[in-house]
Structure 1
Amino acid sequence: MARRTFFSFHYERDVWRSAVVRKSAVLKPDISPEFIDASLWEESKLKGDDALRKLITDALYGTTVTAVLIGAETSKRRWVNYEISQSIERGNGLFGIYIHNIRDQHGNRDSKGINPLGPEFATYDWVNDDGYNNLSKWVEAAYDER
């Protein structure tokens, strides 16, 4: 069944790796990904914290699962942590995907980041756990665990 999934990630550092995950979801019939357009994000940053909170709230509306894409510095990002807390508050299924092994536009991998989720939430490695073929299973498992 299709699950509207919100992807939370450190935009400035991990947009390339995150696109690999998010674009794979577009190709799958059983996941309906939610995206935050970069231009909206940049515009909201200029307008302040209230605008960012509204952007996140609006993006989470109607979603049932949140996937946190864990890069080298994701756990340090205030807005990622806000997205996680809002996802928990709204009752979304929640899980993490380590994305450090995905090669960037220069062919480089990154260091493994700290998991910003609690131990009660499942985490996977996009490369080592075959995310392309398993993302829909992970989304469904997170939905069932909520």
Structure 2
Amino acid sequence: MAKTPVFYSFHFGNDAMRVQQIRNIGSIEGNAPTTPNEWETLKRTGKKSVENWIDQNMKYKRCIIVLIGSETAGRPWVEHEIIKAWNDGKAILGIYIHNIKCPRNGTSRKGENPFDQIKFANGKKISDYVPCYDPNSINAYGDIAENMSNWISHAISNKAN
């Protein structure tokens, strides 16, 4: 089975180690990880450079996966990526990752749904159309590994945008 190309959106500073574990699942083809130094260097080059990096990395992806940690909602680049994905007609889904154990910090509190914060002119929120999955707290990694391909397929076949 061919791997589906995806783009991961997440709060880099808070969740990079949790996200790396999800990248290692291997059932999908995700964008290559950026190191903390690369991300900080990119951010210092200015807003337009970051937007261009996002555009290039999202270009050929079929699905955008927002990995939701304790502080993901309200992050400006995550919001930008969600809006861009929606406007580009990409499939989108969210996965809560607070129960993935970080080697440094363990698990964390469940964050707010970032799709709740983005509203259309008619008052509806993107969360009215985009699914978010909250994996089993006892084995979050296993639940994600077992179900991610199906979640992606569902998002692709049920795009509302």
Question: Is the pair's TM-score, using the shorter chain for normalization, greater than 0.5?
Answer: yes
CA distance in 2, matches of 1:91, 1:67: 14
Q: Aligned-pair distance for 1:34?
A: 1.5
1:45 match: 43
Please give the root-mean-square deviation of Cα atoms over the aligned residues, in Å: 1.5
Q: How many residues align?
A: 142
Instruction: Choose 6-15 or 126-135, whichever is displaced more.
Output: 126-135
Amino acid at match of 1:69: L
CA distance in 2, matches of 1:53, 1:92: 17
CA distance in 1, matches of 2:22, 2:112: 19
Instruction: Choose 97-106 or 124-133, whichever is displaced more.
Output: 124-133
1:139 match: 152
Q: Aligned-pair distance for 1:43?
A: 2.0
CA distance in 1, matches of 2:71, 2:105: 19
TM-score with structure 1 setting the length: 0.90
TM-score with structure 2 setting the length: 0.82
Identity %: 30
The equivalent position to 1:73 in structure 2, one of 68, 71, 74, is 71
Asked if 1:124 corresponds to 2:133, the answer is yes
Q: Give CA deviations for 1:60-93 in whole Å, capped at 9, x if unaligned.
A: 0101100000001101200000000010011110
Amino acid at match of 1:46: R
**Greater relative contact order (Cα 8 A, min sep 6): structure 1 or 2?**
1
Matches within 5 A, 1:8-87: 8-24=9-25, 27-28=26-27, 31-38=28-35, 39-87=37-85
Contact kept, 8 Å, 1:2 with 1:32, in 2: the verdict is: yes
3-state SS of paired residue (1:52): helix
Q: Which runs of 5+ in 1 are unaligned?
A: none
Contact kept, 8 Å, 1:6 with 1:63, in 2: the verdict is: yes
CA distance in 1, matches of 2:33, 2:84: 15
